[in-house]
Amino acid sequence: MPNTGVPGGFPADSVGLVTPRNVAIERPLTLDCGKTLPRFELMVETYGELNAARSNAILICHALSGDHHAAGYHAPPPGQKPGWWDSCIGPGKPIDTNRFHVIALNNLGGCRGSTGPNTANPDTGKPWGPDFPIVTVRDWVRSQALLADALGVRQWAAVIGGSLGGFQVMQWAIDFPGRIRHAIVIAAAPKLSAQNIAFNEIARQAILSDPEFHAGHFYAHGVVPSRGLKLARMLGHITYLSDAAMREKFGSMLKSGVMSFNYDVEFEVESYLRYQGQSFVDRFDANTYLLMTKALDYFDPARDFGDSLADAFRRATAKFLVVAFSSDWRFAPARSREIVRALVEAGRDVSYALIDSQLGHDDFLMPLPEYNRVLRTYLGRVGTESEIPPIPPFAKGEERVLPPLQKGAARSAGGFE
Amino acid sequence: MSGYTNGLRPDLALITEWIEPGSRILDLGCGDGALLAHLAKTRNVRGYGLEIDPDNIARCLQAGVNVIEADVDDGLKDFRDGSFDYVVMTQALQATQRPDRVVSEILRVGRTGIVTFPNFGHWRVRLALALGRMPATPALPDTWYGTANIHLCTVADFEDLCRERGWSVRRRSLMGTDLDLSPFSRLMPNLLSEVALYMLEAPDRA
């Protein structure tokens, strides 16, 4: 990436040096599983200024292995990698930090500083490990709403997320219609397919069957289930790339030109997967991986609405932008069209762009010109309307966070329109 | 084309008058979203445009128009029967793989269909062909090798198809663009109209 015209040697369109901070939520959160966390902490990063009307805040929801470090650098270059969506977030970038106040977090149950399996259980003083409750996408959205309260954001100009992040965006629009003006759902699906769940199950089995997993209590043994976690990540990476991209990137030529008749690395793709798997082990927690895959599997916003996604979306009032990538087979464009179809049926405002792409699911993290133009153009309008302050303050005593949905309780959704 | 009405293409301006306020509309091949934006502003009409061109999709997003990337030739399978008050297709029918199937889909999804197309029976077209050349007219400006139009038809051809399929023509407007030919175009529409507009309904609704 180009110029380094900014003090500290950061690229000119970078948010520069960023410092994560820990936000303690001193309010109880009752989870879908029935357990209650009396308090919790979330790691966040913010970029750009919140305007006086507090109308320009954007929430970034991360995918399976993401975290709060979405943009900028934790230390000056060289040698530093920027946040996971730095291509999209920054001054003058599609999510323009000159206009928007961008908030990124590490989700509850994560392993990058937010309350999760690798943080201390207050009852025991030891890591939660497998005792950390399995959270759902709905739980995440509720925890994010409490975070918004803590940060003084009553209504998001937009909530944006790709993949599992996109699931959270849809849930936001359904569960908190008054608190989100625009929902940007990228490379997502209305729920997982049997094939998606199957991949997750193999990943979980890889971790669970690693002898060093110790039923999730590996912290006490001073080990990590690195073989299982590595296998899980290798499998994941296959689903993030298209067949064509793998062919282009690695080919299927023997590295040395001759067969060596053993199980060492002989093909490029093997060394890629081993490298990706190994580097993941060094930065990720096995219990968090299990929990994240389960949250993916459980996600199905239609479940509470008689399996009608359109009925679920009838509660939403946000305007939607849905984006899919032609080479993505993990959450293929047909899955995004299911979302669009349900939104149209529900009479909601929605635009849909299919981006011509090569890489596969991972394209949602890439600075593809067409993709960037769609986001930039859409968010340009969001930014313009955010300059007019439309949001009334909370009425006194108004419930800010909806209680957990009781199964079947919200079948008639008319009151939310 | 010569004149613009309030910045809107004349056929779009006329369609605007045909559409009931507050209705729900699907615009196939919506271009830059001008019709939808105008209808939203003046008639409180809500709807979606289908478009495949990335530049046009960006223009729609810019205009705040709901745009869905989809190829009309793939059918309207994502849309339910009778789910729109109007399904509109302006100046694009002749560029589809099977115009007859597209109109059937329009009348399945919409309670009312509105289609407009350049009339290949217009005298300018006939004159060009009589002189041995493919026509290049204001309504059909592209070269024969560069045009997207693969299924051009005349007003008479289209009305034959409507009769054959049992589509009822609720309204028709035939527009000449260079002269006010309205008294004459009623007499010789196939010769004198450059652009044809039809409001159609499916047989079971007629």
Residue for token digits 């029967």?
A: B81
- Same domain (yes/no): A210, A273: yes
Residue A286's SS3 state is helix
Range of the domain at A326: 14-191+301-391
CATH number at residue A252: 1.10.1740.110
Q: Kindly state whether B50 is in contact with chain A, defined as any CB-CB distance less than 8 angstroms.
A: no
Clarify whether residues A155 and A203 are in a common domain.
no
Q: Which of B:99-158 have CB within 8 Å of A?
A: none
Whole-angstrom distance, CA of residue A302 vs CA of residue A308: 5
List, for residues B55-102, the tens digit of each pLDDT value: 999 999 999 999 999 998 888 999 999 999 999 999 999 999 999 999
- A312 and A373 assigned to the same domain: yes
Q: Do B61 and A341 touch (CB under 8 A)?
A: no
User: Residue B66 and residue A349: Cβ atoms within 8 Å?
Assistant: yes
- Nearest-by-CA chain B residue for A319: B66
| Residue count (chain B) | 206
Our count of domains for chain A comes to 2
pLDDT confidence of residue B3:
39
- Of A59, A96, A44, residue with least CA distance to A172: A59
Residue B176 has pLDDT above 80, yes or no: no
Q: pLDDT band at residue B2, thresholds of 50, 70 and 90?
A: very low
Q: Is the CB of B68 less than 8 angstroms away from the CB of A351?
A: yes
Q: In CATH, what number is assigned to the domain containing residue A355? A: 3.40.50.1820
Answer for the pair A181, A159: CB distance below 8 angstroms, yes or no.
Answer: no
Which residue, among B57, B74, B77, would best test binding to A if mutated, counting the most A CBs under 10 Å from its CB?
A: B57
User: Which residues have CB under 8 Å from A135's CB, separation 6+?
Assistant: A31, A32, A33, A107, A108, A109, A143, A291, A295
Residue A2: inside a domain, yes or no?
no
d(CA A158, CA B72): 30
pLDDT in tens, chain A (417 residues): 444 445 568 899 999 999 999 999 999 999 999 999 999 999 999 999 999 999 999 999 999 999 999 999 999 877 889 999 999 999 999 999 999 999 999 999 999 999 999 999 999 999 999 999 999 999 999 999 999 999 999 999 999 999 999 999 999 999 999 999 999 999 999 999 999 999 999 999 999 999 999 999 999 999 999 999 999 999 999 999 999 999 999 998 888 889 989 998 899 999 999 999 999 999 999 999 999 999 999 999 999 999 999 999 999 999 999 999 999 999 999 999 999 999 999 999 999 999 999 999 999 999 999 999 999 999 999 999 887 655 555 555 444 554 444 443 333 333 222
The shortest CB-CB distance from A352 to any of B68, B79, B83 is to: B68
| Residue A222 and residue A245 in one domain | yes
In angstroms, the CA A386 to CA A407 distance is 35
Partner-chain contact A340 B57, CB within 8 Å: no
Chain B: closest CA distance from residue A51 (Å): 23
Question: Which residues, in sequence order, are CB contacts of A131 under 8 Å at separation 6+?
Answer: A121, A216
Nearest to B62 among A347, A349, A377 (CB): A377
Query: What confidence score (pLDDT) does residue A391 get?
Result: 53
- Residues A98 and A154 placed together within one structural domain of the fold: yes
| Cα-to-chain-centroid distance, residue B173 | 11
Distance from the first to the final alpha carbon of chain A: 45
Q: Answer whether residue A203 is part of any domain.
A: yes
Chain A residues within 8 angstroms (CB to CB) of chain B: 321, 337, 340-341, 344-345, 347, 349-354, 370, 373-374, 377-378, 380-381
For the residues of A90-143, what is the DSSP string, one character each?
ETTSSEETTT-EEEEEPPTT-SSSSSSTTSB-TTTSSB-GGGSPPP-HHHHHHH
Nearest beta carbon to residue A374 from set B24, B58, B78:
B58
Q: Are B83 and B56 in contact (CB under 8 A)?
A: no
Catalytic residue among A65, A163, A327, A357: A163
The residues spanned by each domain of chain B are 10-205
Asked whether residue A146 is assigned to any structural domain, the reply reads yes
Structural domain contains residue A40: yes
Q: Chain A contacts of B80, Cβ < 8 Å?
A: 345
Looking at the structure, tell me whether residues A69 and A214 fall in a common domain: no
**What's the pLDDT band for B7 if we cut at 50, 70, 90?**
confident
Buried b (16+ CB within 10 A) or exposed e, A380-394: eebbeebeeeeeeee
A86 Cβ contact list (under 8 Å, min separation 6): A14, A70, A71, A72
A363 is catalytic: no
Domain termination residue (choose one: A247, A272, A298): A298
Burial degree of A266 (CB within 10 A; 0-12, 13-18, 19+): middle
| Average pLDDT for B178-184 | 55
* Same-domain status, A127 and A38: yes
The whole-angstrom distance between B51's CA and the closest CA on chain A is 10
Residue (of A309, A326, A330, A310) closest to A371 by Cα position: A326
A221: annotated active-site residue: no
Q: Which of B138, B205, B151 is nearest to B178 (CA)?
A: B138
**What is chain A's length?**
417
Closest Cα in chain A to B65: A351
pLDDT score for A102: 98
Indicate whether A50 and A161 sit together in one domain.
Answer: yes
Measure CB to CB from residue B68 to each of A340, A380, A381 and give the nearest one.
A340
Q: Looking at the domain assignment, is residue A253 inside a domain?
A: yes
Task: Please check whether residue A396 lies inside any domain of the structure.
Answer: no
- The minimal CB distance from A344 to the residues B48, B64, B67 is found for B48
Residue B70 in contact with partner chain A when CB distance is under 8 A: yes
Write down the pLDDT at residue A399: 46
The answer to whether residue A411 is domain-embedded is no
Number of inter-chain CB pairs under 8 A, A vs B: 48
Contact between B117 and B93 (Cβ < 8 Å): yes
Contacts of A374 in chain B (CB under 8 A): 57-58, 61
Q: How confident is the model at residue B174 (pLDDT cuts 50, 70, 90)?
A: confident
Q: How far apart are CA A237 and CA A330, in angstroms?
A: 11
- The answer to the question of residue A397 being in a domain is no
* Assembly ipTM: 0.90
The CATH number for B10-205, chosen from 3.40.50.150, 2.40.30.200, 3.40.50.300, 3.30.70.260, is 3.40.50.150
**Sign of the CA dihedral A374, A377, A381, A384?**
positive
Is cis: bond before A333, omega within 30 of 0? no
Are the beta carbons of A352 and B67 separated by less than 8 Å? yes
Asked whether the beta carbons of residue A352 and residue B60 sit closer than 8 angstroms, the reply is: no
